[in-house]
Amino acid sequence: MLPYITDLSPLHQDLNWGKWNCYLNLKDEGDKEKLKALIRDADVVVDGYRPGVMERLGFGRQAILDLVKDRPRGIIIARENCYGWHGPWVHRSGWQQISDACCGVSMAYGKAMGNDEPVTPVFPNSDYCTGICGSTAILDALVRRAEHGGSYFVDVALNYYSQWLVSTCGTYDEQTWKQLWTSHGSPVFRHYHAMSYLLPAMLKILYQHDAETLFNPVFFEERSAENLGVTFVQVKPVAQSNGSVELRYNVGTRGNGTDQPVWPKDLTVQVVGDSN
């Protein structure tokens, strides 16, 4: 991520916990060497760029494998895209709303509200769930590497998840959907409603009808981002432990380019600088 590239920075308060974040320009040879140094010491490399981009920049699968071939442990390489890793659309860029339309999720949503038209689902279900699938696969690959050695590849795609959701899970039965829909005022969204309209409208509905459950204070916690000097109210981890294990992030959220592109000796350091 470079300073001049547009990013959805309002999402950082939710998505950047537990992460360091640096700027690297992979068209610059000096920055390429910095990324190579990071990869040589990494256990996992995640590539979310449009298919083919990292290959053109010199960081495809084989190039990464070559970087770690002389070390005693392998590496896990995970890739994520929209349309999957086979077929004529493999090199196209895409995101959640496009995948929902491509796989029929948007059409089913529109029909459920009484209109024969596709409507973009309000929440990024395929975005988050594809990420969860990829994270689970990476954890499995790390266990396999520990037990058997070697390197492992993980490929996930928004369409893979959306197709599974449609074909395996399907929709609610009519009675369940009608009860859910009418209990929230029977809202109707249309094909021309953008996310800038849908999100505030849906949050208003949830506050009106589900405030005591979804927004119960017991489900939230205060979380400090020390490097920003700011405290956020965030959703607690779903899993909880009564023992000595505390599920939390050691590293607070941040904006882009806060850290230097090196691995620190102390993995709990808040900001990675040249002296770490």
3-state SS string for 116-169: CCCCCCCCCHHHHHHHHHHHHHHHHHHHHHHHHCCCEEEEEEHHHHHHHHHHHH
What is the average pLDDT score of the chain? 94
Confidence of residue 275 (pLDDT cuts 50, 70, 90): confident
In a domain, 156, yes or no: yes
Question: What are the distances in angstroms from CA 109 to CA 99, 112, 117, 134?
Answer: 14, 5, 9, 25
Phi, psi of 29 (to 5 degrees): -65, -35
Q: Is the predicted pLDDT of residue 33 greater than 80, yes or no? A: yes
Residue 148's pLDDT is 98
For strands 220-225 and 152-157, give the pairing. unpaired
In a domain, 257, yes or no: no
3-state SS class at 229: coil
In a domain, 243, yes or no: no
Sheet holding 152-157, edge to edge: 44-47, 76-81, 152-157
Percent of the chain clearing pLDDT 70 (strictly above): 99
Cα pseudo-dihedral 153, 20, 81, 150, rounded to 10: 0
pLDDT tens column, 149-184: 999 999 999 999 999 999 999 999 999 999 999 999
Q: Is the predicted pLDDT of residue 128 greater than 90, yes or no? A: yes
In a domain, 180, yes or no: yes
Structure letter (DSSP) for residue 233:
E
In a domain, 179, yes or no: yes
In a domain, 255, yes or no: no
Report how far residue 253's alpha carbon sits from residue 232's, in angstroms, rounded to the nearest whole number: 10
In a domain, 152, yes or no: yes
Q: Which domain holds residue 67?
A: 42-192
Q: Write the CATH number for 160.
A: 3.40.50.10540
pLDDT tens column, 177-236: 999 999 999 999 999 999 999 999 999 999 999 999 999 999 999 999 998 999 999 999
In a domain, 34, yes or no: no
Q: Is 258 exposed, middle or buried (0-12, 13-18, 19+ CB in 10 A)?
A: buried
**How many domains would you assign to the chain?**
1
The encoded tokens of residue 111 equal 């029909």
